[in-house]
Amino acid sequence: MRRADGHYRWLLSRGVPRFRLDGSFAGYSGTCIDISDRREVEKLKDEFISVVNHELRTPLASILGSLDLLASGILQTQPEKEQRMLQIAATNAERLVRLINDMLDIERIESGKMTLNKQVCDGAELMATAGDEIRGLATQSNIQLSVVPLPVRIWADPDRIIQVFTNLLSDAIKFSRAGSTVELTATLTVSAQQVQFQVKDQGRGIPPDKLTAIFGRCQQVDASDAR
């Protein structure tokens, strides 16, 4: 239904026909319920399932493929390839755990159950730790990882800061061309009261009209299975 302000709303209409005493049709009586919010929730759910389905299937397929090769015994005479298959399975198993933890974190944040254990941290140490954690992924993708630590004291939850760094770095690596560079840098503001951390890549970038949308729950520029 188009409202007076020009906006459209989804309605759930239910009605039954009414007849006069002579049997002629008199019209309908029933209700119209605005279900626009329900439709929006269903749309978000479908998008969420699409994203989760894609993100979880990729590492799971890699794990199953590696384990199938190992179980077949084909690689018994090739210890180097056997070790490589084990490494692939282990790496993707860790990725699955991270993805699941990320989804659980979203639920904790939205339900108000997320707690931050803030303390004085060394920014350089946090940056170096995140770089070490993601360097293996960068090497596998043939990406040069450049981390320029900034020795600065900050008040934050170190685990969450490292989690943000590794999430941004892994996305930057995922959407970068082989042979390119991903950077993690930091700068102090003029007042020296804040520090700004930056993750920069040489990938395709994000369209200007999507810069705010991607910060929604499980949002991607292209969430379709065909991407």
Q: What's this model's pTM, rounded to 2 decimal places? A: 0.58
On the question of pLDDT at 223 being above 90, the answer is no
Nearest to 169, CA basis, from 141, 193, 150, 208: 141
| CB proximity list for 91: less than 8 A, separation 6 or greater | 136, 137, 140
Fold topology of 40-110? Helix Hairpins (1.10.287)
42-49: long-range pairs with CB below 8 Å, 24+:
44/217, 47/218, 47/219, 47/223, 48/217, 48/218
Nearest to 175, CA basis, from 210, 221, 218: 221
% of the chain at pLDDT higher than 90: 36
Q: Pick 119-215's CATH classification: 3.30.360.10, 3.30.420.40, 3.30.565.10, 3.40.50.1860.
A: 3.30.565.10
Q: For the chain, what is the largest distance between any 2 Cα atoms, rounded to a whole number of angstroms?
A: 90
| CB proximity list for 181: less than 8 A, separation 6 or greater | 143, 144, 145, 146, 201, 202
Give the confidence band of 192 by pLDDT, cuts at 50, 70, 90: low
Give kind and range of the element (H or E) at residue 94: helix 79-110
92: its two tokens: 């993707």
CB atoms within 10 A of CB 205: 10
Please give the residue that has the higher pLDDT: either 166 or 200: 200
2-59: pLDDT as tens digits? 999 998 999 999 999 999 999 999 999 999 999 998 888 888 777 777 767 767 776 7
Question: What does the pLDDT average to over 139-164?
Answer: 90
Question: What does the pLDDT average to over 95-109?
Answer: 74
- Kindly list the domain boundaries of the chain, sorted by start residue: 40-110, 119-215
